[in-house]
Chain A
Amino acid sequence: MIHSLFLINHSGDIFLEKHWKSVISRSVCDYFFEAREKAVDPENVPPVLQTPHHYLISIYRGKLFFLSVIQTEVAPLFVIEFLHRVADTIQDYFGECSEGIIKDNIVTVYELLEEMLDNGFPLATESNVLKEMIRPPTILRSVVNTLTGSSNVGDTLPTGQLSNVPWRRAGVKYTNNEAYFDVIEEIDAILDKSGTTVFAEIQGVIEACVRLTGMPDLTLSFMNPRLLDDVSFHPCVRFKRWESERVLSFIPPDGNFTLMNYHVSSQNLVAIPVYVKQSISFFETGPCGRLDITIGPKQTMGKTVENMMVTIHMPKAVLNANLTATQGTYTYDLTTKVLVWDIGKLNPQKLPNLRGSLSTQLAISGNPRYIMTLKLSQLMLVDCLKVSRLDMYGEKYKPFKGVKYLTKAGKFQVRT
């Protein structure tokens, strides 16, 4: 299983190492650096590398590489999933997963790593179990600790470890009991040059924020569960009930969590809420080109489109852009060659347009890539999953319940 872990920053420094078995020299990372060099872009580093004596499996997250050293056969996804879980845990504890944060809390991170694996095999990865063993730092607690000398480390076995609802700890208490669910649907789409949809699908996720006292048992039912094509659940969801009744029955973890991911069945046509008219051309004759993009609403059913943002990855040869936008602002990053046009709210009366000239080097090759992000709040597309009701059993009080719907652009791309 997992032998060692190295955390490596963007510039290639190893700033944390942890060994779960005997110590492996950090020189093993040289193979990784070699591959990193070759890949140019950090995203292109192959996740699995083979070296004469070890195997290196790495993930890239938050500008950091989590590099694990493996000695024997193991499912690579097992390691990858675990590494992401480590990153999630750090994020959960400290609010973000970055080099600075990890360096500031290096002892806590090290203790966490110690608890998460034993001899390379995951021991405790549930956030609430970990939090009972090693309490997350808060300012208040650190002051209290220095004054009283008490510690951040628990000395009893977290209740979650033994129970069969390991995701929830016992004795949760709130004065305001509330349960919120965000149904977020993301449109993944590829549009071609002329604006026709090459590929579109809707992926959804239900994010929950549950702050309820005791051991509540919740049941969430939908108005149109037939819409769901493929689902994956948080371990708390009882699969049997889903199979037989199409309701989500679960004892929720405490706090924020992802209840369910789903895919809307592909029989339904996906309505793309906006259209894009774009033309970009580079002149053969001189070192310049033209750009013209217009965006308009389409099938929004009267809802407003907010937070529109267009990102264009220009070819390397584009030196600068001189454009005018009828709405919003644009920036062009010279080093990364990325043009970002922040439009904001889409006004159907006056369609936003961005046009102007691009100055280029003589040799121009390739076309720019467009990536759009947009958010449609409260927008219910025809095929939106709708929650019908939420029931609570096992506790007496009446919780405050809320559901919010949101449609966003996921991987939304326009080809040129």
Chain B
Amino acid sequence: MSTSALYNDQGGAEAAVEAGQESTPTSSGTGAAFGLFSTDFKKNEDLKEMLESNKESLKLEAMKRIVGLIAKGKNSSELFPAVVKNVASKNIELKKLVYVYLVRYAEEQQDLALLSISTFQRALKDPNQFIRASALRVLSSIRVPIIVPIMMLAIKEAAADLSPYVRKTSAHAIQKLYSLDPDQKEQLIEVIEKLLKDKSTLVAGSVVMAFEEVCPDRIDLIHKNYRKLCNLLVDVEEWGQVVIISMLTRYARTQFTSPWTEGATFDENNEKTFYDSDSEEKKEQTEAKPYIMDPDHRLLLRNTKPLLQSRNTAVVMSVAQLYWHLAPKHEVNIVTKSLVRLLRSHREVQFIVLQNIATMSIQRKGMFEPFMKSFYVRSTDATHIKTLKLEILTNLANEANISTILREFQTYVKSQDKAFAAATIQAIGRCATNISEVTDTCLNGLVLLLSNRDETVVAESVVVIKKLLQTQPTQHSEIIKHMAKLFDNITVPMARASILWLMGEYCERVPKIAPDVLRKMAKTFTAEEDIVKLQIVNLAAKLYLTNSKQTKLLTQYILNLGKYDQNYDIRDRTRFIRQLIVPNEKSGALNKYARRILLAPKPAPVLESAFKDRDRFQLGTLSHSINSKATGYQELSDWPAVAPDQSVRNVEVIEPVRNPSSSHTPYHSFTSYLSNCQFYHQNETSSDSESEEESSEESEKTSTDSGKSSSGSENSSSESESEQKKKKKTKKAPQKKSKPTHHLSSLMVAVQVILTNSSDHSLEEIHIGERSPAGLNIHCFNTIERLEPEASVTVSMGIDFSDSTQAANFQLCTKENQFSVSIQPAVGELLMPSTMTEQDFTKEQGKLLGMNETSATITMATANTSSQAISKQVLSVANVGVVSSSQNNFHRFAGRTVSSGALVLVSLELKESSSALLTINTEKSVMASMLLRDLKQALTQA
């Protein structure tokens, strides 16, 4: 597999890197060994002197110290004038450090910062893509509003740069400019729109990021790029994947109908499908329901699935959330294993993943139940992780596994970590209320805990028991009595208050004990905490109403104490209670209802998970993690009831005639192979079987309008074929060959086109219509009067590409229809051979040095070491002439560009083993780098 062929062979071949690598000779700065002996004064004054000296090494040393200061957060802004002078330095490291400084302080010293701008503007035109990119990076990072127009211009230019790396940088610059000046939004959106069309995997992630930041609501920009993004996804770098997946999740929720069957609630009876490992099958689904998934929806699900195996946890999580929000219910399960796997990762990763699992496990127990043991708490876990695991275990509890879980909980209660032990008791309480079979067991267990040595455990148990008893108060007077006995030993206020409340609430069930407790409380009233005092007042009131004979005096005593309490809450409560229960002449009608007010049956508390309604946030987001809406959070919309027009995602270049006006006639669609043109040369050679394979794959892609060629799996192609038949599409398959130059004009490249009518009726008056760019010079073929079905005709035409690899676009018209055709030439085809002697060659080469020379060391494939094979390979790539050579290890080729006639000299010097030095001399540096890349590929490949 060659390196430039698509790596994962998923996603279209166009994802292959398209731009050339440029290399410029490294000029190493010269300097004396001065730095070694520089003194160590840490004064800024001496830094200034060093910066103004003539010695590179001194300057570098100074800059390093300054950057050190910045890193430590110390101010060094007063050095700005001295530093900015060095922005044009030749020394690359010095320059970089100056950049760092500029970006940090330019905002504070705007006027001075302007001095550096011209340097960047110059660098933006540098032939080295790395320098262009870093100039743009710094220029856009300088937050000086005055240069907004310059930035805008630079971004626009960079967005059309040949190097994908520079285009990537421009996508980043868009966000920076937007935050500096939001008024530029409209213009920036135009650039984003353009960059979204980019086919490079390098650019995709960054531009989607820019999209998300600048115009996340312009979903319409995505339509045309949707399929491309899906197909490229596997080969995008991991950070870009995260951003793209999250954007596509949002997109899909607005464009497709819900794959979930009626009612979003999950039917537990369906559990069988849960464990069905083959969740990919569509059969099941289509049989059961009338719902048919949009092929684009399926495409997204299918193309994201392999990413579950990513080593990047953020990618795995984002795929998991995508499945959670978009996949049919029975397919969501495939993410489980991967999520559980992430639990082996770093502590912080575990935290986030567990949070998300907690939310998921509330709605879908079955997903994680088989992995229950993975959530067992280890004593080494951090507290927040323990609590989350506990939460999940509680969510997973059901009749079948509750005994295992409770046994597990028992060990947790004994933990040294008291906060965790308390949380476990709460969890037991929740299990007890959720699963009625075990309520009694839990209650008994909790009562046992009341005699625990640890106070927090006891207190928590009391609180939970209180809640449990409320749910079924009838049969538990024994427990209340038991608690009353323990009362003296319990000191935690919350627990005491809870017991008192229980006494009051169920005082009729413990008629003997309750008054006694009240008696004790009357004694200690003044020493109690406020919350206990309030409950004492409550208890007194309730007893007064039910058993006034025994407790009248006690109650009055307590009410008197309360009246003079320091806390106004307690004073208020006391007054209120007194008016309510003790009848006197002033008290009104309320008195009669005192009993009904105080002893009303109270609804039992519902013990709920803290993650209950977290699913209102998209999983995996910051908002979900902090459980509140973070700045810039984009809501996930509900599924639309009716899917919006699917055709918006069809890409025009491939499918030009999809406008409804022509719908009365049968569709004619040109599926063009042209973007992938097979030039004459390449066809002749037996060379790259690889590239041919690739191209056939690509053509398959362009031919299927569903855009799901990527994997080329049988499934997808057959599907799309049938789809085509269904839509009664006709297909013309033009093929094209080119000859070096056209016979009519020496400035043109000849292109041979085979037109095949694959529709079922004949096509008439085939000719060339509008072309773009407007000035495009094409020598047209004569109009073809008529082309019968299944017939082919070969025509030749001439196109002036003006020495650029930009595609030539024109309309191919028939009587009724027009089709857009785009021809992009391979760089080698823009040349014509030139004959010269070896002497001439060396002479010309001598004139084209420096900037005009591009070279690379390559490792030749074994098959390509003979001179014959080399010639064959080179000639297959570029249309150049062989220059006879006197040396055996030297191969020379010469050519001229077709339009401008600039010389292009290729020389190949064989070295020991299989390495070789490949040099291209020409003034067309862009061409040189592309040619170099192509040659390199051809020669390194067997």
Q: Which residues of A contact B (CB under 8 A)?
A: 1, 14-19, 21-23, 26, 39, 41, 43-44, 46-48, 50, 55, 58-61, 70-78, 80-82, 84, 106-107, 109-111, 114, 118-119, 121-123, 125, 146-157, 159, 161-166, 171, 190, 192, 198-199, 201, 203, 214-215, 217, 229-235, 238-240, 243, 251, 258, 261, 263, 313, 315-316, 365-367, 369, 371, 394, 396, 411, 413, 415
Contacts and interface: CB of A to CB of B under 8 A. Distances in A.
Contacts of A190: 376, 378
Given A75-B317, A166-B237, A16 B3 contact: no
A19 B344 CA distance: 31
The 8 closest A-B pairs by CB, nearest first: A149-B31, A72-B632, A366-B416, A151-B93, A157-B130, A369-B379, A47-B348, A153-B93
A21 B173 CA distance: 12
Contact of A78 (B9, B68, B239, B382): B239
B317 A149 contact: no
B128 interface: yes
Contact of A77 (B60, B179, B235, B352): B352
Contacts of A234: 311
Contacts of A415: 379, 411
23 contacts: A1-B209, A47-B348, A50-B626, A61-B346, A72-B631, A73-B630, A73-B631, A75-B317, A82-B314, A107-B68, A119-B140, A119-B176, A151-B92, A151-B93, A155-B130, A164-B201, A165-B3, A171-B857, A214-B859, A217-B1, A232-B338, A235-B311, A396-B914
Interface in B510-526: none
B21 A232 contact: no
Given A106-B68, A155-B26, A232-B341, A413 B352 contact: no
A162 B10 contact: no
B546 interface: no
Given A59-B346, A155-B130, A77 B341 contact: no
B206 to A, nearest CB: 7
Nearest to A171: B857
Contacts of A61: 346
B172 A118 contact: yes
B490 interface: no
Contact of A21 (B179, B349, B352, B620): B179
A164 B622 contact: no
Interface stretch (B70-78, B262-270, B690-698, B877-885): B70-78
A152 B93 contact: yes
Given A78-B242, A166-B237, A365-B453, A19 B348 contact: no
Query: Interface majority SS on B: helix, strand, loop or mixed?
Result: helix
Contacts of B379: 313, 369, 371, 413, 415
B444 interface: no
A122 B621 CA distance: 18
Given A16-B71, A118-B137, A149-B28, A369 B348 contact: no
Contacts of A192: 411
Interface stretch (B32-40, B187-195, B561-569): B32-40
A65 B490 CA distance: 41
A77 B314 contact: yes
A162 B529 CA distance: 69
Q: Could you say which of A19, A149, A152 has the most chain B C-beta atoms within 10 Å of its C-beta?
A: A149
B202 A155 contact: no
Contact of A164 (B16, B130, B859): B16
B165 interface: yes
B468 interface: no
A380 to B, nearest CB: 22
A121 B209 contact: yes
Contact of B104 (A23, A72, A371): A23
A122 B107 CA distance: 23
Given A151-B94, A157-B128, 15 more contacts: A16-B72, A22-B143, A23-B107, A73-B623, A73-B632, A75-B314, A75-B621, A114-B100, A118-B169, A119-B172, A148-B31, A157-B22, A190-B376, A234-B311, A240-B711
Contacts of A394: 1
A84 B172 contact: no
Contacts of B415: 366
A74 to B, nearest CB: 6
Given A73-B630, A107-B67, A148-B28, A78 B314 contact: yes
B349 A80 contact: yes
Contacts of A39: 383
A415 to B, nearest CB: 6
B167 to A, nearest CB: 11
A147 to B, nearest CB: 5
B309 interface: yes
Nearest to A14: B73
B71 A109 contact: yes
Contacts of B129: 157
A195 B901 CA distance: 85
Interface string B856-890: 01010010000000000000000000000000000
B620 A157 contact: no
A81 B312 contact: yes
A44 B16 contact: no
Interface in B313-359: 313-314, 316-318, 337-338, 340-341, 344, 346-349, 351-353
Nearest to B857: A171
Contacts of B16: 164
A230 B73 contact: no
Contacts of B449: none
A284 B628 CA distance: 49
Nearest to A125: B239
Contacts of A84: 346, 348-349
Given A125-B239, A371-B380, A232 B310 contact: yes
A249 B448 CA distance: 59
B625 interface: yes
Given A121-B206, A149-B32, A239-B8, A106 B72 contact: yes
A8 to B, nearest CB: 12
B131 interface: yes
A240 B376 contact: no
A47 B92 contact: no
A396 B376 contact: no
B795 interface: no
Contacts of A171: 857, 859
B29 A149 contact: yes
Contacts of B56: 149
A180 to B, nearest CB: 20
B175 A155 contact: no
B83 to A, nearest CB: 15
A22 B141 CA distance: 9
Contacts of A1: 209
B341 A261 contact: yes
B806 interface: no
A238 B8 contact: yes
B557 interface: no
A162 B165 contact: yes
A111 B172 contact: no
B3 A46 contact: no
A44 B209 CA distance: 33
Nearest to B344: A203
A413 B622 CA distance: 33
Contacts of A215: 3, 859, 940
B380 A411 contact: yes
